[in-house]
Amino acid sequence: MSAAALESRYTLPVYPQLDFEPLRGEGAWLIDKQDRRVLDLYGGHAVAALGYDHAGLIDSVRTQLEQLPFQSNAVAMQVRGDAAKALVQLAPAHLTQAFFVNSGAEANENALRLAFLAGANHKRRIVAVSHAFHGRTAAASAVTWGSDKRWFAFPQTPFEVSYVERNAVDQVDAAFDDDVAAVIFEPVQGVAGAYDLSIEFMQALAGAARRVDALVIADEVQSGMGRSGKPFAFEWAGIDADIVTAAKSLGGGIPCGALLSTQRIADICQFGDLGTTFGGGPLASAAIRTVCEAITEHDLCANAAAREEQIRETCVTGPVSAVQGRGLLIGLRTAVPAKRVRNALLNDNILTGTSADPHIIRLLPPLTIGSADIERLASTLANLSLES
C-alpha cells in the first residue's frame, strides 16, 4: 500500500495531498523511495528552518533523548532554562520572558488569554486584521478572517472581534476604544499569500492600541525566527509588541510553540494562569536552543535578506509577474492559477506552496538555502511548461 492509500484509509480526509511521498531529507532536498530528489522551497510550512540534516540539531535532540526525554514544568530543567534564555536573547530587549507551548495556535490562544488578564476582564474585544490566519483553536480561529464561514464550527466566539482592513491606515483609529484588550496581527500575512503589512499600518495599530491601553500581539508563527531578515518581522516597523508568538521554525521540525512577553505582562501572571503538559519539554527545548543559536551563528537573518533580494531580481520570469513578502516568506504572483504553477514546479522537482490567494505561490524555504537553489528556481520558472 502506498503512503497515500494508507493515510486515506486510516486518517480523517481533511488534507488535499501532493503526489510525492518523501522518505528522507538532505539539506533543503527531499528524497523519495525511488531516489527522486525534490528541492524543498516550502519547508513543511516554514518549519524546517535549518534544513533536514543539520548536525547540531540532530545531535542536541539525540543527546537530550538519551539523557532524559521528558519531565514536565513541575520541575526546573537546565535545558528549558537555556532554551528560554536563547529565545529571549534572540528577541528585542523589551521582551524579557518566554512561555513554551506546543503549536502556533496554542501560543496565540495564550497570548489572547493574557490580553484579557491584563485588562482585568474589563475589556471585551480584540481587533484583528482582514485576511489574517492565527490558527484553529477557539480563540485563535475567532480572530482568523473568514473562519466563521468555513470551519470555525463552534456556536459562538469566546470574545468580540472586529477587523480592520489590511493596510487601511485611515480605518485604524475608529476600530479602537476602551473595550479593546489587544490587537493581533501577522507582520507578514503568511496563509493569505505572504502579504507584508506596511510599516505605517503596523505603527498605526500599535499607536492606537497604546492610546486605549490595549496590548500589541505580533503573531510571528510564520514570519518570525529570522525568516523576515530580522529575528522578528514586527521589528521592521520599529514598534514594541507586548507579546510575540512563535512556532513552526522555532524547533526546526520538533513540534513546539512559544510566546515572548514584556516584564509588565510577566508581573501580572500568577501560578496557574497558564499551563501545559508538553510545552517546554526537554526535546523541544534542546531544539529551540539550537535553532536560536544557529540563527545567530550562521547569520541566517542576513541570508534570508540576501535570498529575498535575489528572488526579487531573478524570479519575475515565466508565469511570475511580481514578488511580495519579506525575507524568506515570499509570495510569487502568477498570471495563471498558482496551483498550476505549483504542480508544474513539482514536476520539475521543486516543491512550493499555494496560499489563500489563488494567484500566489508561497515560498517558505529553510533559512539555510543558498544562491544556487534560487538560481535553480529562477531558471525552472523561466522554462516552465504549464501544459496539461
Residue choice 27, 51, 119, 190 for contact with ligand PLP (CB under 6 A): 190
Stretch that binds ligand PLP, among 26-34, 128-136, 336-344, 366-374 (CB under 6 A): 128-136
Q: How far apart are CA 38 and CA 122, in angstroms?
A: 53
CB closer to ligand PLP, 27 vs 327: 327
CB 243 within 8 A of CB 215: yes
Q: Which of 52, 99, 100, 133 binds ligand PLP (CB under 6 A)?
A: 133
> All 3 cell numbers of residue 250?
522555532
Helix 55-67, helix 282-297: angle, nearest 10? 160
Q: Does residue number 186 form part of the binding site for ligand PLP (CB under 6 A)?
A: yes
Among the residue ranges 133-141, 167-175, 261-269, 347-355, the one whose residues contact ligand PLP (CB under 6 A)? 133-141
Site for ligand PLP in 6-45 (CB under 6 A): 45
Residue 220 or 308: which CB sits closer to ligand PLP? 220
Q: Rounded to an integer, what distance in angstroms lies between the CA atom of residue 249 and that of residue 256?
A: 9
Query: Helix 282-297 crosses helix 300-314 at what angle (to 10 degrees)?
Result: 70
Among 80, 134, 227, 342, binds ligand PLP (CB under 6 A): 134
Q: Find residue 329's DSSP bridge partners.
A: 326
Q: Does 187 bind ligand PLP (CB under 6 A)?
A: no
Amino acid letter, residue 139? A
Alpha carbons 365 and 367: distance in angstroms, whole number: 6
Assign 22 to helix, strand or coil.
Answer: strand
Does position 112 interact with ligand PLP (CB under 6 A)? The reply is no
DSSP H or E stretch at residue 303: helix 300-314
End-to-end CA distance of the chain: 28
Number of residues that bind ligand PLP (CB under 6 A): 15
Indicate the residue type of 206: A
Binding of residue 135 to ligand PLP (CB under 6 A): yes
Considering only 52-60, 91-99, 104-112, 282-290, which stretch makes contact with ligand PLP by CB under 6 A? Answer: 104-112
| Residue 103 lies near ligand PLP (rule: CB under 6 A) | yes
The DSSP output letter for 380 is H
Contact status: 308 vs ligand PLP (CB under 6 A):
no
Q: Is 256 in the site for ligand PLP (CB under 6 A)?
A: no
- Cα separation, 38 vs 324, in Å, equals 24
Tell me: does residue 357 bind ligand PLP (CB under 6 A).
no
Count CB neighbours of 376 within 10 A.
17
Residue whose C-alpha cell reads 515570499 in the numeric block: 330
> Closest distance between ligand PLP and the C-beta of residue 218, in Å?
10
Residues 6+ apart with CB under 8 A from 55: none
Query: Which of 131-139, 232-240, 287-295, 326-334 is the region at the interface with ligand PLP (rule: CB under 6 A)?
Result: 131-139
Convert residues 221-250 into a mask of x (bound to ligand PLP by CB under 6 A) and - (unbound): xx------------------------x---
* Residue 176 Cβ vs ligand PLP, minimum distance, rounded to whole Å: 22
Binding footprint of ligand PLP on the chain (CB under 6 A)? 45, 103-105, 108, 133-135, 186, 190-191, 219, 221-222, 247
